[in-house]
Amino acid sequence: MKLGIIVGTNERSRLTYAAMNSVISSSMGDEVFVFLTMDSVRAFTKNPEVKDSDVSSKTMVEKKDEDFTGLFKKAKKSGKVKIYACSYASKLFNYSKADYNDLVDEIAGITTFMMDVEGGQVISVW
């Protein structure tokens, strides 16, 4: 099966939810395609901007819980996870591929993402 995850936030708790879905689905043998758009691209740069404005995010920081980046790294070790940074959001924030951390495979448009996920399930995390 294929799973597409569209992420549009840089809120830590929501990024962690997306990362957990990636870990679980990829460990079950599914192909996972993550599409980072709007504010979420800011969390995947070499100088990440992550919001901790909700209670869950603040608690994760206080407890030094595993970060979403670590979870995405685990998911990517399966070889079944691909992470795209939205071309529109990248232009909006003036980011090039060199600005992103090593989790981002490429900058692509929503059409590329939707073609990769064709026939699979798509969830959104905003």
pTM over 0.75: yes
Which letter does DSSP use for residue 51 in this model?
B
**Among positive and negative, which fits the CA dihedral 115, 105, 35, 74?**
positive
Sorting pLDDT into bands at 50, 70 and 90, what band is 23? very high
Residue 107, number of CB atoms within 10 A of its CB: 21
Rounded-to-integer distance, Cα 117 and Cα 17, Å: 19
Do the Cβ atoms of 88 and 41 come closer than 8 Å?
A: no
Q: Assign 32 a pLDDT band (cuts: 50, 70, 90).
A: very high
Instruction: List the CATH number of the domain containing 43.
Output: 3.40.1260.10
Q: How far apart are the first and last CA of the chain?
A: 23
Tell me what the mean pLDDT of segment 73-93 comes to: 98
Domain extent for 57? 2-125
The count of structural domains within the chain is 1
**CA gap 79, 85 in Å, rounded:** 18
Res. 29 pLDDT band, cuts 50 70 90: very high
